Amino acid sequence: LTANNLVYRAINVSQLNLQASNQRGKVEISRLTASAVEGDFSLPGSLDVTGKKVLAAVNPVINHMQLGPVLLAAGLPQMMTGKFSMKAQLSGDGITVDAFNHRWQGDAQLSMNNARLEGLNIQQLIQQAVTRSSSDVKGQDRYERYTEVKQLQANLALHRGAMKVSNLIADSALISIKGNGSLNLPAQQC
């Protein structure tokens, strides 16, 4: 199947190329490539629809796509924007966003360029802490409601809605961050 243009969850997708075979409910997707939100992706995998639940396994490769529209399409808050690339090995039962957020597992390597952590200004938090402890330092009168990150890398491990973030490295002109953390996809918390 090829398609020049289509829309999936409000995302314009172009140059779609799908090659798949179905052998009595066991679907092998040998090729699923397309361009979307300023980047491109490859999504080979398999589906097993022979039982009561759809079992899926995918190995996505995403190159330089805008993250904000992807999060919006997945029903997640746009807590981060910027161009991202990712390689992953994921599997689970069900092929809906809700199934992914609750019943999928796998590992991924993520990198981003020119990212923005929306609603959190780390520089502001540091400056405000310093100004409270020293009268010699003054903070800015107005702060942006985001943190700009020039480059970001992290490893992700998903298990039924709980995502562990490890080896997080983020750099920008004013800040360098290293660490680990976790995300709760169903509760939309981090």
pLDDT at 140 over 70: no
128 confidence band (pLDDT: 50, 70, 90)? low
pLDDT of res. 122: 62
Would the CA dihedral through 76, 177, 166, 156 be positive or negative?
Answer: positive
Query: Residue 69: which of 120, 109, 146, 12 has the closest Cα?
Result: 12
Which has the higher per-residue pLDDT, 129 or 11?
Answer: 11
What tokens does 139 get?
């903070």
pLDDT at 107 > cutoff 80: yes
In the predicted structure, residue 124 carries a pLDDT above the cut 80: no
Q: Model confidence over 19-34: pLDDT tens digits?
A: 999 999 999 999 999 9
- Report which of 7, 6, 40, 2 is spatially closest to residue 18, judged by C-alpha positions: 2
Pick from 154, 162, 184: nearest CA to 82: 154
Give the pLDDT of residue 126: 67
For the ranges 115-119, 137-141, 147-151, the one whose mean pLDDT is highest: 147-151
